Amino acid sequence: MNKIIAILCIVLPNFAFGQTHYLYCGEMLDMTNSKVKKEMTLVVENDRIVDVVRGYKEAPDSVVVVDLKNKTVMPGFMDMHVHIEHQSNPNRYIKRFTENKADIALGAIKYCRRTLMAGFTTVRDLGGTGVNVSLREAVNHGEIVGPRIYTAEKSLATTGGHADPSNGVKDELKGDPGPKEGVINSPSDAYKAVRQRYKNGADCIKITATGGVLSVAKDGQGPQFTVDEVKAVVDAANDYGYVTAAHAHGAEGMKRAVLGGIHSIEHGTMMTQEVMDLMIERGTYYVPTISAGKFVAEKAKKKGYYPAIIVPKALKIGPMIQETFAKAYKRGVKIAFGTDAGVSPHGDNALEFGFMTEVGMSNYEALKSATVNAADLMNVSDDLGTLEKGKLADIIALDSNPLEDIQSTLNVSFVMKNGIVYKTTE
């Protein structure tokens, strides 16, 4: 009977809600420390872990038993930098003029599913067309399968900046986008833009503090916000309880963002020791996105994959991120896991663990960046990041112990999110 219920939960995930699950864990890494616990039972009721028991607790007939005795069980991974609406391809820049929002939404369904099936039960989406808000709602209502999404809705830029939606188009189409469209040029604009994101349903705020690699513009690293503009964004965001993030490649733009109170620096390509020390002093997180750097550097060598203006930026900036990450980690900057998936392929998020550990980060610290640290960055540690009584039941299982082999993160065989089973080997 238990096995039949478990199978139905996969076919019809919402059927699982309201059931009590006993997860028999051969090994459990609860992320409260680096120790692996043997032969444990996680008791899940509705969407919460209600007990953590040593040994395999005897289950009554009414309980759904999930046998993970030959797996390593741990909290669901969290990716703090994705773009869930799209994925890189040579036609992306043309599709800006051919795709409707409905097309984007329908195409993104597969990206949501791939992300969850890879063991990433929570993501922070850092900018799109606004479809990301609808995707979040569709996931929350059980209409599509995907991770828990915290979204910035539309990224904030300055005129001509990295997230100015009119970059690279002919003059007749450029117009003069403003705060409503996510483009600001003053502290007062910043307040209006943040409030517009609140109105549009955002969960967090992202700014593009420097130029970017993939925007159709020449400069990929110069500063694009003043300190006062950053501070206004952060102050307005704080009014709504929003965590803020700053895309930044060049050091001056990073410095201004940190001085303005931003909560995390994304990419951080040309981060200097001065910026690292300032981030340590201010408690600013670093989200490195090594995966994206490697991806754009590789694709820039393929003729026609990117517009010509992007190629030199990708070749210069992309290969630098991993080296910068290694320096920042050794310096003591706080690290939260992020891939920039959407630039790199959705579903390949766990490759980032390997990129982090091959330059000196321990396996445990890499795993911590995608669980404990990510939850801390998003101010959701009461609910996520560890396997403890009272936490949300976001639980995954790997075929082997990731403390011994980080590549095991690429083989997620069981996924539960909010107490609902979405993937299993049974």
Output the six-digit token pair for 360. Answer: 């000196």
Residue 219, pLDDT score = 66
- Give start and end residues of each alpha helix (H) in 283-320: 290-299, 311-317
**Contact assessment for residue 122 and residue 150, using Cβ atoms and an 8 Å cutoff:** yes
Look at the pTM and tell me if it is higher than 0.95: no
pLDDT confidence tier of residue 9, bands split at 50, 70 and 90:
very low
Closest residue by Cα to residue 78 from 293, 375, 412: 375
CA 302 – CA 190 distance, rounded (Å): 38
Asked whether residue 383 is domain-assigned, the answer is no
**Window from 191-195, 316-320, 399-403, 415-419 with minimum mean pLDDT:** 316-320
Mean pLDDT along residues 310-338 = 92
Same domain? For 207 and 290 the reply is yes
Same domain? For 218 and 99 the reply is yes
pLDDT confidence tier of residue 356, bands split at 50, 70 and 90:
very high
Same domain? For 316 and 340 the reply is yes
- Give start and end residues of each alpha helix (H) in 141-226: 171-174, 187-200
Say whether pLDDT at 32 is over 90.
Answer: yes
Mean pLDDT along residues 217-241 = 91
Asked whether residue 63 is domain-assigned, the answer is yes
Domain enclosing residue 37, as ranges: 2-75+388-423
For residue 122, what is the domain's CATH number?
Answer: 3.20.20.140
Which residues have a Cβ under 8 Å from the Cβ of 67 and sit 6 or more positions away?
A: 24, 426
Higher pLDDT, 338 or 174: 338
Residue linked to tokens 């951080």: 268
Same domain? For 296 and 167 the reply is yes
First vs last C-alpha separation in the chain: 13
Please state, in angstroms and as integers, the Cα–Cα distance from residue 31 to each residue in 111, 246, 387, 400, following that order.
27, 27, 7, 16
Same domain? For 148 and 18 the reply is no
- Give start and end residues of each alpha helix (H) in 15-147: 92-95, 101-117, 131-140
Higher pLDDT, 11 or 365: 365
Mean pLDDT along residues 93-100 = 80
Asked whether residue 382 is domain-assigned, the answer is no
Say whether pLDDT at 38 is over 50.
Answer: yes
CA 194 – CA 155 distance, rounded (Å): 10
Mean pLDDT along residues 253-272 = 97
Residue 18, pLDDT score = 65
Among residues 355, 377, 399, the one where a domain terminates is 377
Asked whether residue 407 is domain-assigned, the answer is yes
Digit-coded pLDDT (tens) for 401-411: 999 999 999 99
Same domain? For 270 and 409 the reply is no
Residue type, 181: E
Same domain? For 158 and 111 the reply is yes
Digit-coded pLDDT (tens) for 380-393: 999 999 999 999 99
Residue 218, pLDDT score = 66
- Give start and end residues of each alpha helix (H) in 175-272: 187-200, 227-239, 251-259
Same domain? For 339 and 415 the reply is no
Task: Give bridge partners of residue 421 from the DSSP assignment.
Answer: 416
Asked whether residue 26 is domain-assigned, the answer is yes
Closest residue by Cα to residue 206 from 340, 402, 31: 340
For residue 20, what is the domain's CATH number?
Answer: 2.30.40.10
Asked whether residue 54 is domain-assigned, the answer is yes
* CB-side neighbour CA atoms (13 Å) of 368: 13
**Contact assessment for residue 191 and residue 145, using Cβ atoms and an 8 Å cutoff:** no
Mean pLDDT along residues 407-416 = 98
**Contact assessment for residue 314 and residue 269, using Cβ atoms and an 8 Å cutoff:** no
Same domain? For 208 and 251 the reply is yes
Residue type, 87: Q
Digit-coded pLDDT (tens) for 104-123: 999 999 999 999 999 999 99
Asked whether residue 32 is domain-assigned, the answer is yes
Higher pLDDT, 296 or 30: 30
Same domain? For 216 and 142 the reply is yes
pLDDT confidence tier of residue 216, bands split at 50, 70 and 90:
low
CA 416 – CA 423 distance, rounded (Å): 7
Mean pLDDT along residues 279-305 = 92
Higher pLDDT, 219 or 264: 264
Mean pLDDT along residues 188-200 = 98
Q: Using a pLDDT cut of 90, give the percent of the chain over it.
A: 78
Asked whether residue 61 is domain-assigned, the answer is yes
pLDDT confidence tier of residue 14, bands split at 50, 70 and 90:
very low
Residue 11, pLDDT score = 41
The total domain count for the chain is 2
Closest residue by Cα to residue 153 from 166, 163, 139: 163
Same domain? For 255 and 189 the reply is yes
Say whether pLDDT at 176 is over 60.
Answer: yes
Closest residue by Cα to residue 380 from 150, 137, 43: 150
CA 406 – CA 138 distance, rounded (Å): 32
Which residues have a Cβ under 8 Å from the Cβ of 151 and sit 6 or more positions away?
A: 84, 124, 125, 128, 132, 133, 135, 136, 201, 202, 203, 204
Mean pLDDT of the chain: 92
Same domain? For 255 and 359 the reply is yes
